Structure formats: structure tokens, C-alpha cells
Chain A
Amino acid sequence: MYTMGIDIGSASSKVVILKDGKDVVAAEVVQVGTGSSGPQRALEQAYKASGLTKEDISYTVATGYGRFAFTDADKQVSEISCHAKGIYFLVPTARTIIDIGGQDAKAIRLDDKGGIKQFFMNDKCAAGTGRFLEVMSRVLETTLDEMAELDEKATDTAPISSTCTVFAESEVISQLSNGESRNNIIKGVHLSVASRACGLAYRGGVEKDVVMTGGVAKNAGVVRAVAGVLKTDVIVAPNPQTTGALGAALFAYEAAQKK
């Protein structure tokens, strides 16, 4: 039996196809999200990669910001539940999840059975999210992919506040005009994102293992910063951008079995 999870985020679209609720036969990401061609392209890529067609899929669960806009889904499940499901499948020892996506950040606490004990989300603000990093990378004339590498070369951390993206952008520009090294500023930017996300995690309490997921988890600089703030090791989920879609595919498998 094949089931599908589609995670339509603000900045990217992700599709996972599962065989019998355990084997990932496709995990595709397109870097544009809801309201764009992203969901359709991610679907086409997943069908192509798996050699399957729409008719082969027994059940589809949509999640993410654009979940209600995707009319082909059998069911919509929130991204918090899907991330929790996906992460627990991949890392059963996970008790705290930090998910930093394109426009929001979440901290989720799990119990030992993978049930959600508590969660906190950021509030309508780009600070501490992937969008924040995008804005900063533009000002710093670098790419998101290069930022982790440059962070590693930093000799110090330039202070960048975590309150507001617009203010932080001005701070980065001031630091650049004052001759601060770009690498140190990038490290400060990463710490700013980490502080914001860890603030959410603190609200619900932090318990090991801490797992990071979402697109920003691909940035090793932010992961190092989160580990530093929380003073604990941080596990990065395998293929962190697709854990929400994986969770959705797992929910789809459970629902298909009940049909």
C-alpha cells in the first residue's frame, strides 16, 4: 500500500510517498510554497521518482500552511502533529523538537510514545525563522548554503538582536559599516535565530533528546548555535525539510488501514 504526505509550507513544498507505512519511496522538495506551482511540481517529481501514479496512492494527507488549499487530499492534519509523527518515526528518543521553517518556528514536546505533550509557536513575526536568514543573507551578500561554512570561520560573535527582522537588518548593516567581519556577523545572525527558537523551547521545558527539523536545520551554524544556547547535543533529523510530509504520509497510512 502506498500513502502520500504533502507538506505545503510558506517557502517550500514537500512530498513523501511511503510504502506500507515504513519505506520511503519518494521524498521531494520544491523551493516554493503555497499559492505557487510548487505543490504540483513536488507531486510530479514524487510520482516520477517512485514510478507511481495518482491511482496507486491509497490515501493522501496534506499539512503545512497551504493544507486547506490542496483539494486532492483525503484529510488535513496540522504541521505540528505531522512533524511530531515524522520525527518520532525517525528518532524515537526525541523528546523536544525544534522546527524552524520558512515563516514560523515551533517547539514541540513529546512523550515516550510520540504523543504531543505541549507545543509553542512564534507569533506572526519573521524573527527567528528561515525568512530572517534569507533577509540577512541578502544584506551579507552570501547564500543560505554558504552561511554555515562562513559561521565556522568566525572568530567572535557580533551581537544581533532577536526582536525584529527589520531592526536586525539595520543592525547587520551598522555592523558591516563599522568594519565587523562578515563571518562574525553571520555567527551573530545564527545566534539570534537560535535564541528566538530556544525561547519557545524554554516555555515548554527542554528534555533530551533535542531534535531539529525544518529547512533551517540544514544550516549547521544555526544547529551549533541552538546546541550552545540549550547547552545540549542537538540531533538533526535526516532530510529535515521532509519530516512534516513524512508524518503526513504516516497519518495517511494509519487512516488508509482504517478504511
Chain B
Amino acid sequence: MSKVEAILSQLKDIAANPKKAMDDYKAETGKGAVGIMPLYAPEEMIHATGYLPMGIWGAQGKTISKARTYLPAFACSIMQQVMELQCEGAYDDLSAVLFSVPCDTLKCLSQKWKGTSPVIVFTHPQNRGLEAANQFLVTEYELVKKQLESILDVQITNVALENSIAIYNENRAVMREFVKVAADYPQVIDAVSRHAVFKARQFMLKEKHTELVKELIAEVKAMPVQPWDGKKVVVTGILLEPNELLEIFNEFKIAIVDDDLAQESRQIRVDVVNGEDGPLYRMARAWQQMYGCSVATDTKKGRGKMLINKTFQTGADAIIVAMMKFCDPEEWDYPVMYREFEEKGIKNLMIEVDQEVSSFEQVKTRLQSFVEML
């Protein structure tokens, strides 16, 4: 097994076994883990406690049954899965759960967590661009910090927080470089591997993830760049999984050369800038820098333009919109983006992502047709 294969295999294992990753961390450090609900959270704060931040993005293929008691059938697919898992106690090993509420479903779900872990709810201000919004978010983060300290019985010092911010900034920078490397080497980093590298970062300490990804990048960049005889796409949406779906991308030679997925590149888009202001204030300001996301209010609707730029910059053939089933914010963005893509003559396709589904024939037809169309 080559070094590249070995690193990818390690990251794939972590991505596929979050429970094991958490148990291993507990055994190694004696500390626990804190869950993070989608989409954004001051994860650096959890890191500064020494607890392992764990992303909570649903599960694939689980039949929804118990969650029906609390959620209508047309609630977002991720939240259906999260609720089902909550009801089954899947998250009860978490020491706490950090819960942002940027959409209606998250807001409602935050009020009826069915697991036993304590839940810390906070709000992102949607009047982005106002200084008052920064002050508001600092206050929210102060409350989060206080609750984390109380629940985990750990003091979060500014020194620890600054250290965590530096670790996260480095990880984000390395992942941005990884995106470019994956675009240049689709034969080496296929759609499944690319996703695994992103997903694993949710279940491991960022410094360890950075180390592995740096090593991966160095190994891949030492190889010659080969011409790609398939198609290149930019993908957007909340998430693009499971592997069965990504394997269809591989089968039809569709390389993902950039993304705007909430689970992937949106998490690494914005750094916490250095400066003289305190860490909480700088973390709050990062939210104002967040752009091109359906849950971050943007009256100018810049997401379509951002995707068009990504398409031109990467030389992509098309954009694929991975529409999370029953995700209102994403559905609202779609017609605006669609019109802009069409105006620019950019080929585009919408596929539906439903975490409950285990059959992929229909999406296979769509992707095959799309490749034939390009």
C-alpha cells in the first residue's frame, strides 16, 4: 500500500467510524467529546477545553420511525436522522452538544433534544454587517463559554483559546490547499476519498488532521499531474454523501474540483483573523465574513456569483447542486442561483440528497444524462 493509500485509508476509517474515533480519544486522553450540530459553531472553544469536537450530520440509510413522533415527514433529511439517533440514545455519550439555530428546523429541534447530553443553544445574528451584531455574538459566545466551563468543569483560558484558533486557522488553510490538490489529481483523490478527508476532520483533533493532510498533499504533489479525460464539476449544497452516491461520480468520471458544501468547504472558508481584539470578538467577526451560505443572510445573494467564479477559476464543466431534501434555505437559494447559471451559460444539474434513501438508481440516471449532455 502506498503512502497516499495508507493516509486515505486511515482517514476513511475515521470518517466511517466516528464512535470508535470518540472512544479511542476518550481512552487516550481520559476526556470526552462534545457534539456540534450543523452548520456553524465556535468549535475552537471546545478544542480549548481538551474535549474532542464531533460533528453531528445525521446518518445514511437509517429508516425513520421514532423521529416521526416529533418531526413531520417533510422536515429536513439530516434532522430526521439526527432525531432518530437521539431517540435511540446514539449521542448520549457526548458530554455536551453545541447547537446553533440558523434555520427554523434547527431552532425547533434545539428545544426538544431527546438525548441525555446537556445542550448549549446559541444564536447567530442575521443582521450581519452591523457592529452590534458582533457584540451580540460575543455575548452569545460568552454564554456558551460559561456553560461549557460549567458542564465540562474546565476553565477556557485566552491562551488556550488563542492556541486553538491558530490550530484551526492552519487546518482550514491546509484544507483549502487540499481542495486545489484534489482538483489537480482527480485520478488520485477521487470523489469518495475527497469526501473522506473532509469528513474525518469532524471526528479528530484538527492538529492531527492537519498533520495527515499535509503529508497527503506532499505525497500527491510529488506525482506528475495527469490529464483528466472525464468531466469536472463544482458542487454545492449542505452535504454530498453517502459513498454510494459519490461512487457514481467516480463511475462516470466526474471530478469534484471545488465545492461549496456546508459540511466541507463552507467549514474552512473563513479564518479567525489575528489582531489585538480578544479571541471571542475575533471569532464573532468571522461570522460576518461568512458568505455564500443559505443560512447566513445575504440580501445581495452572492452565492450564485461565487459559484460561477469557482467554475471559471477551476475550469469546471458544470455545477451540481446537491439539494438536501426538504431544506428550505437551500430551496430558496436555488431559483436565484439557477437563473444566474443559465444567464452565464453554465451547465448545471440539481440532484436530491436524502439520507434515508438506500437506492441510487434515479440519481445515477441523472448523473449519466448530465455527463452525456456536457
Q: Does B17 contact A (CB under 8 A)?
A: no
Q: Does B357 contact A (CB under 8 A)?
A: yes
Whether A78 touches B362, Cβ cut-off 8 Å, given contacts A123-B352, A124-B354, A124-B357, is no
CA distance A79 to B372 in the complex (A): 11
Q: State whether B373 touches A81 (Cβ < 8 A).
A: yes
Q: Does A30 contact B (CB under 8 A)?
A: no
CA distance A104 to B348 in the complex (A): 20
Q: Which residues of B contact A80 (CB under 8 A)?
A: 365-366, 369, 372-373
Report the minimal beta-carbon distance from A200 to chain B, rounded to whole angstroms.
11
Q: Does B361 contact A (CB under 8 A)?
A: yes
- Nearest to A65 among chain B residues (CB) is B361
- Nearest to B371 among chain A residues (CB) is A78
Q: State whether B373 touches A121 (Cβ < 8 A).
A: no
Q: Which residues of A contact B354 (CB under 8 A)?
A: 124
Q: State whether B366 touches A121 (Cβ < 8 A).
A: yes
Q: Does A120 contact B (CB under 8 A)?
A: yes
On chain A, the number of residues with a Cβ less than 8 Å from chain B's Cβ atoms is 18
Interface residues on B, range: 10 to 19
Interface centre among B338, B354, B365 (most CB of A within 10 A): B365
Q: State whether B369 touches A120 (Cβ < 8 A).
A: no
Q: State whether B369 touches A78 (Cβ < 8 A).
A: yes
Report the minimal beta-carbon distance from A204 to chain B, rounded to whole angstroms.
9
Q: Which residues of B contact A65 (CB under 8 A)?
A: 361, 365
Q: Does A119 contact B (CB under 8 A)?
A: yes
Report the minimal beta-carbon distance from A170 to chain B, rounded to whole angstroms.
16
CA distance A249 to B12 in the complex (A): 43
Q: State whether B365 touches A121 (Cβ < 8 A).
A: yes
CA distance A77 to B252 in the complex (A): 12
Interface of chain B residues 316 through 374 with chain A (CB within 8 A): 325, 338, 342, 348, 350, 352, 354, 357, 361-362, 365-366, 368-369, 372-373
CA distance A205 to B357 in the complex (A): 29
Pick the residue among B342, B348, B369 that contacts A81 (CB under 8 A): B369
- Nearest to A103 among chain B residues (CB) is B362
Q: Which residues of A contact B369 (CB under 8 A)?
A: 78-81, 116, 119
Q: Mark B139-170, 1 if CB is under 8 A from A, else 0.
A: 00000000000000000000000000000000
- Nearest to A83 among chain B residues (CB) is B369
Can you spell out 7 A-B residue pairs with CB atoms less than 8 angstroms apart?
A78-B365, A79-B365, A80-B365, A80-B373, A121-B366, A124-B354, A124-B362
